[in-house]
Amino acid sequence: MSQTQQANGMTQLTGTRKMTKNDERQAIRKMKILFRPMTKLFCPALRLFFCRKLGRKLGACDTQKLLSKLQVYNRRHGLNSQLLRDGKSVTAVRKIIKYAIKGRNSICHSNLPEIKANSKLFLTAWIQVAGLIGAKKTAQKLKRTRKFLSHNTKEFPRTNPEERQRVMASVFRKLELDKNNNWSQIKERAANAIEDALFDVIAEDFAIPMRDFMKKHKLFAYNTILDSYLDSYLQLKIAIAKCSPAHFIAPADGSVFDLGHLKVVMSSRHSAIHEQHVNTLREWPKFFKSLIYVSLGIGAPKAARMISRIYKSLVAARKQARRQIKRARLPPPILRNGQHVSIKGETIRMNRRISTNSQTGAS
């Protein structure tokens, strides 16, 4: 694709025709694939650029804030900035950053028509921004993601809960062993992994049923742009303002539907999208429970089951990690009759005998 064609593609707006269910499913899967490099590669590269430029660590900044900072930095410093322009004008750089922001917003607000049409162009903009800030390794990794999307246009299978549990057991084990009171890379990786799971269930399981619930109660019309910001914020805000517990299916225990869970779901969305790592590590069980609760309340038992499967896989992974750590800390088994036999309390008694014999021999 020539630079002219690419520029035209970047400025072209996607129509808002109604998408088929298959179109939506494929766009959601693409969106999930894009979310990971955005949060794990692109955002850290932007943060590192500003840390080096400013000579100090930044506070909590997500991709949105960092791209906005880059936009302001380019506008203020122009040709005197530390960006590696490679002959590009200030205006050209501004357009690249603007399109990178559009890519971020399309993913975080689930603009499915845009994602379906322009996912590779969004990645191209991120690659160009990575080049501007001197993040060569990040650019190469983003290129691999773009190549993957180019060669896998049909199927993007969702992560199997069992596979997620296996991966997360390792993540939780490292997290449990991390005794650093300060923020660490281990904590960040764990938060990223949990945010991936949160983003997945909100995008793939919760968003469409929530949209259908809002449509059923005529709170607003069907929109092909399945905006997760709307689903988790505006839609839920409207539901809180206009709906009573009677609009929702009552819990199985016969209690009244608790509208407070809607706010928790909003927080779960914000935590994942805005990379609120500390909040994610502290509140993720609460987030998943509320997503399950609200899914049942809006009449989406299938969504609730899928979210529950992911939640249970995370809980099982954490338990597995804790068991592995506990097992590793147990005293070694006693060798008896040529076999390793672990007998409760026997190790302590044997140590006492050895200690007593040693003292007797010494005297």
Domain boundaries, the chain: 3-157, 162-329
DSSP 115: H
Q: Which residues pair with 281 in a beta bridge?
A: none
Gap between the Cα atoms of 63 and 272, Å rounded: 12
What stretches of 53-134 adopt beta strand conformation (E)?
Answer: none
Distance CA 152, CA 103 (A): 20
Q: Where are the alpha helices (DSSP H) in 243-300?
A: 260-273, 277-297
Local confidence pLDDT in tens for the 363 residues of the chain? 443 343 343 333 344 557 788 888 888 989 999 999 999 999 999 999 999 887 767 777 899 999 999 999 988 887 777 888 888 888 999 999 999 999 999 998 888 888 989 999 999 999 999 999 999 999 999 999 999 888 775 666 777 888 889 999 999 999 999 988 888 999 999 999 999 999 999 999 998 898 889 888 888 755 555 443 445 566 777 777 788 899 999 999 999 999 999 999 999 999 999 999 999 999 999 999 999 999 999 999 999 999 999 999 999 999 999 999 998 877 766 544 445 555 545 555 555 554 555 454 444
Query: So what's the pLDDT on residue 2?
Result: 41
Q: If you count them, how many residues does the chain have?
A: 363
Which of 91, 70, 94 has the alpha carbon at shortest distance from 82? Answer: 70
Q: Among 207, 221, 237, 209, which residue's Cα sits nearest to residue 299?
A: 209
Q: What residues contact 240, with CB distance under 8 A and at least 6 apart?
A: 259, 262, 263
101 touches 67 (CB < 8 A): yes
Going by C-beta distance under 8 Å and a sequence separation of 6 or more, which residues neighbour residue 232?
202, 210, 265, 266, 268, 269, 270
State the pTM of this model. 0.82
Give pLDDT, residue 179: 86
